């Protein structure tokens, strides 16, 4: 990783790209996509040891990671109070005294992600901050509710103020190789989102193979996805480095052919600061610096922020603080 300074700067507005308009489904391109599993796994296994940043440089990258977090609560026992606390944390994710010690001005997380019922609460709590509210939709997490209800759910969430919609695809379309059905579904979801950006959750742990992951990534981008996302966080296997490598390279291939940049969101299981550094280095290596901005990269996480705070405090004080001092929500 190249060095980054800890200069005092205000949190900049999100950089924005022209939206991916999608394209006609190119089945020849989709069917030509392959995945060399052994080579992908070997490459992924080298990643944690290939990049090491220390001291001020590590602190700078961890501060960058905070600005890329979709701070998330997706629990059946979510309450208005919990969501308000989460939004307060998104507005001020790091204690001001710690930021002062690091020579940093205010920063925020990339977004707050909630169920539909909590959109209004989150929008109200984040008013005036520029932090977008993301809502999970389309029968999250299984995506098995009737199609017309999934489309309607998107419309309800956009009307309630969600600026980003995290949809789940029908896994059966991937498992049966029905790429036309997946394309048509994703295109309908994109249309229902209107101005709101759409993140396509592939639920990669349930797709059977890395080749299926690569092909599903490509089809969703062809249908107009603004982001492709690994997981709902509810599967038994969520974000992994091999899956991330496959999806990131699909994004690169799509950009090379169309000129449109699509974002990437690993979600589920990323809870340690050291893991965030590995994902950042992977994005930098494979896609370059442009993909290290919140409009093109997000972490779907809830506990990651707490561990990053502990690492930053250790950097400043030389001691680790107790986890309860960095509660989220």
DSSP string of 303-320? SHHHHHHHHHHHHHHSSP
CA distances from 222 to 97, 180, 225, 257, 264 (A): 46, 11, 7, 11, 15
Alpha carbons within 13 A on the beta-carbon side of 279 = 33
Q: Which of 226, 229, 275, 295 is catalytic?
A: 229
Q: Which of 64, 70, 89, 166 is catalytic?
A: 166
Contact partners, residue 205, CB within 8 Å, separation at least 6: 231, 235, 236, 237, 238
Over the range 72-99, which residues count as b (16 or more CB within 10 Å of their CB) and which as e? Answer: bbbeeebeeebbbbbbebbbebbeeebb
Question: Are the C-beta atoms of residues 228 and 247 closer than 8 Å to each other?
Answer: yes
Question: Are the C-beta atoms of residues 101 and 316 closer than 8 Å to each other?
Answer: yes
Question: Are the C-beta atoms of residues 105 and 63 closer than 8 Å to each other?
Answer: no
Taking 3-state DSSP, the helix, strand and coil percentages for the chain, each rounded to the nearest 5, stand at: 50, 10, 40
Q: Which of 265, 275, 295, 307 is catalytic?
A: 265
Please confirm, yes or no, whether 166 is among the known catalytic residues. yes
Please confirm, yes or no, whether 265 is among the known catalytic residues. yes
Report, as residue numbers or ranges, the catalytic residues: 166, 229, 265
């Amino acid at each position: 990783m190249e060095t980054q300074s800890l200069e005092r700067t205000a949190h900049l507005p999100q950089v924005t790209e022209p939206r991916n308009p999608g394209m006609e489904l190119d089945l020849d391109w989709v069917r030509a996509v392959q995945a060399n599993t052994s080579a992908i796994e070997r490459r992924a296994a080298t990643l944690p040891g290939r990049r090491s940043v220390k001291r001020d440089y590590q602190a700078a990258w961890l501060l960058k990671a905070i600005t890329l977090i979709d701070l998330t609560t997706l629990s059946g026992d979510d309450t208005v109070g919990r969501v308000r606390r989460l939004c307060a944390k998104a507005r001020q994710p790091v204690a001001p005294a710690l930021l002062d010690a690091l020579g940093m001005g205010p920063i925020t997380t990339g977004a707050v992600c909630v169920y539909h019922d909590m959109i209004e609460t989150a929008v109200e709590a984040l008013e005036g901050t520029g932090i977008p509210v993301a809502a999970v939709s389309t029968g999250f997490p299984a995506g098995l509710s009737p199609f017309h209800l999934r489309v309607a759910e998107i419309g309800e969430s956009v009307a309630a103020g969600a600026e980003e919609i995290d949809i789940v695809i029908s896994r059966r379309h991937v498992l049966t190789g029905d790429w036309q059905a997946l394309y048509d579904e994703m295109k309908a979801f994109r249309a229902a989102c209107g101005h709101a950006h759409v993140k396509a959750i592939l639920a990669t742990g349930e797709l059977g193979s890395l080749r299926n992951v690569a092909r599903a990534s490509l089809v969703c981008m062809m249908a107009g996805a603004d982001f492709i996302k690994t997981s709902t966080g509810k599967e038994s296997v969520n974000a992994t480095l091999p899956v991330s490598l496959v999806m990131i390279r699909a994004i690169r291939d799509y950009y090379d052919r169309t000129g449109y940049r699509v974002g990437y969101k690993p979600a589920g299981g990323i809870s340690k600061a050291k893991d965030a550094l590995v994902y950042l280095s992977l994005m930098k290596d494979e896609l370059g610096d442009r993909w290290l901005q919140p409009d093109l990269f997000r972490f779907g996480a809830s506990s990651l922020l707490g561990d990053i705070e502990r690492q930053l405090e250790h950097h400043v004080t030389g001691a680790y603080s107790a986890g309860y001092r960095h509660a989220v929500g």
